[in-house]
Amino acid sequence: MPSISNVERLEELRDSQQNADTGLAAASMSGVELVAQSTAGIAPSAVMVSGATLVAASASAGTLYSYAISLCVLLLVGWCVSRAARLRPGEDLLSHITAAFGRAVGFVGSTGLAFGYLLISVGCVAQFSQYAKPLLGVAPPASAGVPATSISVTVVLEIVCVLCAAWMMIRGVRISAWTGVVLEVLSIGAILVVLTMVLLRHGFSLAPLMPTGITMQQVVSGMVLATLGFVGFESAACLSVEAKDPQRTIPRAVTGSALLAGALYLYGSYAQIVGFGGADNLAADATPLNTLADGLGVHWLGLAIDLGAVASNFACVAGSLTAASRVLRSMGESQLVHSKLAATHPIRKTPHVAIILLSAAALIAALGLGVSGINELDVYSYTGTMGTFGYMIAYMLMGLGIPILVRRLAPQTSVGVAAIIGLTATGCLAYVFYRNVYPIPDWPADVIPWIFLAVLLAAAAWYVAGPARIARRQTRESSLAADPAPEPAR
């Protein structure tokens, strides 16, 4: 139980949150809307469409184990995020990490998280284009393979996706959250119909649950892309200022969205492995759900899945960039980046400058990768893998930081449980990262970790150069103030 001084500290934090003019729509989002935000950030239906085939390519018959272990690890991370939300209500992940380790580590962790959100949105923009083209009749059905259409069609679709998402995010966080969850419910419904029909036709099998010949390396390799399916579950914590009763609603949103996604992924990957007669056959198909729908003789369900994938990827673009904009706004408010990024719309109460900048970056990256000739599924795989590393950095810092926060803010509470959970989550994520660097994977997977490391080093260099920039600006301002005003001509 927290001490009296800790209770008083929490009351002060709550009062300061209510009295501070953050520029955001403070205490406007209910618990249901926070769940909607985290669900939109995860985009479970988009992951169910293509995630299992990507994980199976690395984990083979260990696909279900990759998902199950990833879920357990991220639930530990969710516990750390939830504990921090209870100790420091109204604060986001940047603030939690900074409170534990200082501004320098907070900046690196926030950079990793924002980078992860941005790259996930780039992959979802590409997937939006891939699944929209068959619906518009400008490409064969997705189950026929990756369609070879004019690059101009891809450009137009990706521009429409990002512009519509940016407009919705600027209009209001509640609008984007509700739009995302409605689209997710519709698309998940169509997917569950196909998966259930597959199991009814093929029957239940214990083979995917008790595979033979799998190795730990396969399971761990699959965990990066399995973890990709969950990242974004903590995005509700980025909206702590806009949350009602954040001590209660944020932990429920974080844990609930991870459990929901985990249940869907385990059921979806199991049904797809059964439907294809094995994980290796699943890994060879770029659009497994469409193939299964065609095999069932219900082609219209394949089109429904395409529509659901379009809706889910759009929701993920909006959800990911919404969370990223809050991270960037917090960094601007803390003067870790340019202070203009902390600006909020005077009417809509949204960080419109950060939203516009991130949307432009996501669009440029998606168009650049598309023009270079990389197909949409590979764009999703490459950007998703690199983005997952960004999330993992923030998650590991939260795991390492939660014992420190518990010791400082709840001194009467045992720090042992927090230390065990935090260190376990951090150790598991660090091991997953290590096993994806060594043994050296094939190209281009071998260069992805080093590109991410270069981004972190660039961020660290930016932070180190920050005080020098501030000192030079202060020197110029001081010298201008010290110079006497010129005397008027006589």
- 184-199 per-position pLDDT tens digit: 787 888 889 889 999 9
**pLDDT band with cut points at 50, 70 and 90 for residue 236:** confident
Q: Is the pLDDT of residue 402 over 60?
A: yes
Is 110 part of a structural domain of the chain? yes
Q: With left for phi above 0 and alpha for psi between -120 and 50, is residue 90 left, alpha or beta?
A: left
Give the pair of three-digit tokens for residue 142.
Answer: 């997705």
Half-sphere exposure of residue 362, counting CA atoms within 13 Å on the CB side?
Answer: 39
At residue 209, the pLDDT reads 87
Per the CB < 8 A criterion, the answer to whether 109 and 92 are in contact is no
Of 173 and 73, more confident? 73
Half-sphere exposure of residue 239, counting CA atoms within 13 Å on the CB side?
Answer: 39
Helices H / strands E in the chain, number of each? 17, 0
CATH number assigned to the domain comprising residue 326: 1.20.1740.10
State how far the Cα of 333 lies from the Cα of 319, in Å rounded to an integer. Answer: 21
State how far the Cα of 302 lies from the Cα of 305, in Å rounded to an integer. Answer: 5
Mean pLDDT value across residues 159-171: 91
At residue 346, the pLDDT reads 83
Is 488 part of a structural domain of the chain? no
Quick one: angle between helices 44-59 and 246-276, nearest 10? Answer: 50
Phi–psi pair at 29, nearest 5 degrees = -105, 130
> What length is written for the chain?
490
At residue 259, the pLDDT reads 92
Q: Is the pLDDT of residue 299 over 80?
A: no
pLDDT digits over 467-488, tens only? 555 555 555 555 555 555 555 5
State how far the Cα of 229 lies from the Cα of 231, in Å rounded to an integer. Answer: 6
Q: Is the pLDDT of residue 367 over 50?
A: yes
Is 59 part of a structural domain of the chain? yes
**pLDDT band with cut points at 50, 70 and 90 for residue 465:** confident
Per the CB < 8 A criterion, the answer to whether 253 and 34 are in contact is yes
At residue 431, the pLDDT reads 86
Range of the domain at 388: 23-468
pLDDT digits over 322-366, tens only? 888 988 888 888 777 878 888 888 887 888 899 999 999 999 999
Per the CB < 8 A criterion, the answer to whether 441 and 382 are in contact is no
What's this model's pTM, rounded to 2 decimal places? Answer: 0.80
**pLDDT band with cut points at 50, 70 and 90 for residue 262:** very high
Q: Is the pLDDT of residue 172 over 60?
A: yes
pLDDT digits over 420-451, tens only? 999 999 999 898 888 777 777 777 777 888 88
**How many domains is the chain partitioned into structurally?**
1
Is 295 part of a structural domain of the chain? yes
> pLDDT > 90: what percent of the chain?
22
| Average pLDDT in the chain | 81
pLDDT digits over 14-56, tens only? 444 444 456 776 767 777 778 777 777 787 887 888 788 889 9
Is 261 part of a structural domain of the chain? yes
In the chain, % helix, strand, coil (3-state, to 5) comes to 75, 0, 20
Is 484 part of a structural domain of the chain? no
Of 72 and 287, more confident? 72
State how far the Cα of 370 lies from the Cα of 125, in Å rounded to an integer. Answer: 10
Is 1 part of a structural domain of the chain? no
